[in-house]
Amino acid sequence: MGERVMNIAVLCGGTSSEREISIVSGTQVCLALRAKGHRAILIDVFAGDSRVTERQLSSLEELFPESYDVEAAAAYARSFDEKIPEMKKRKVFWGPNVLEVSKAADCVFMALHGQNGEDGKIQASFELLGIPYTGSSYLGSALAMDKELSKQMFRENGVPTPAGIVLHRGQEELLPASENGIGLPCVVKPSCGGSSLGVSIASTEEEYQAALKEAFSYENTLIVEQYISGREFSVGVVDGVAYPIIEIAPIEGFYNYKNKYSAGSTVETCPADLPEDLSRKMQNACLAACKALRLNSYCRIDVMMDKEGNPYCLEANTLPGMTPTSLLPQEAAALGMDFGTLCEKLITVSLGEGQEEA
């Protein structure tokens, strides 16, 4: 990126169950980019900012000011939190001035997570409007967001992944665990959710039925997946390069929403303590997963490794969490790259490749 100062709109918030995590990511990215000298501003994709004036929209210097209160912008986004359910009834997704700000920016940094943010819809809209953005194309984003399609693409392209079946609402009682072809223990998770919301590991029929009920409270389509007993890892892939592997070891249970976002609940080791051959095997599997899902720019692949050292790709995160302690930034730090430099690199990689399908 060199010495170029960019006007950057950091898009956060939205309507998904990961709204708060997105605002945290966006805030940290915006602060980091400003510390690097860029004129970054934070805006909620769904709530927008009705305070933006016509004068600001006609002047880049006023729209992307040299002095800017990032925390105040985050507080403004959060002020809509309780209104979001009611606001969802409106027919327009874009918040006030979001598209106008995005069109004026040199780049939109996508700090969105989950549905209506990470699933390709906004990416497709931006491509139609000619708005540069960070992350993978609309096609890769859509494939990665849908775990049913991801698993199908993995299988068809020889990417190691746990066996799994799809259940739709209304099928809860049709297939007891003993007859679903997966058996127990198994993993039950919403097909398109993120941050491990609604994910359960079931070891008994009672736990299995409870897991179905929990997951169906989030979505109408579920994945029931073979449980891989072993160690959990994550691998960032940036510009076709697999970053150092990070091992994730929750102190209790598995890497669920609570363990992801509660301080001290998980031991994260990067680089992971693995023999070189196993590290290379896992990284190659993750590169193959990216290729299968048509992912470009950057992403993060979640992996389980069984006791025999076989890696299983679980899913891809096309817009991974972006705080200094998130997994991808930890992997970048292992390469000697600070958080602000990583944010710049993700912009450079995204703009350099464009968002054409890989």
Residues tagged active-site: 18, 195, 261, 300, 302, 315, 317, 321
Burial state string for 244-253 with b = 16 or more CB within 10 A and e = fewer than 16: bbbbbebeee
Distance CA 138, CA 104 (A): 21
Q: What is the rounded distance in angstroms from the CA atom of residue 93 to the CA atom of residue 119? A: 14
Q: 3-state SS of 292-351? A: HCCCCCEEEEEEEEECCCCEEEEEEECCCCCCCCCHHHHHHHHCCCCHHHHHHHHHHHHH
DSSP 176-226: -GGGSSS-SSEEEEESS--TTTT-EEE-SHHHHHHHHHHHHTT-SEEEEEE
My answer on whether omega of the bond before 244 falls inside 30° of 0, hence cis, is no
Structure tokens at 228: 């891989």
- Token pair for 337: 């790259």
φ, ψ for residue 200, nearest 5 deg: -140, 150
Look at the block and give the residue holding tokens 């609570």.
258
Contacting residues for 224 by C-beta, under 8 A, at least 6 apart: 164, 165, 166, 167, 180, 182, 186, 187, 188
How many Å apart are CA 55 and CA 291, to the nearest integer? Answer: 45
Distance CA 88, CA 212 (A): 26
* Percent helix, percent strand, percent coil in the chain, to nearest 5: 40, 20, 40
CA distances from 149 to 79, 120, 152, 182, 315 (A): 36, 14, 5, 18, 10
> Is beta strand 107-110 parallel, antiparallel or unpaired with respect to 7-12?
parallel
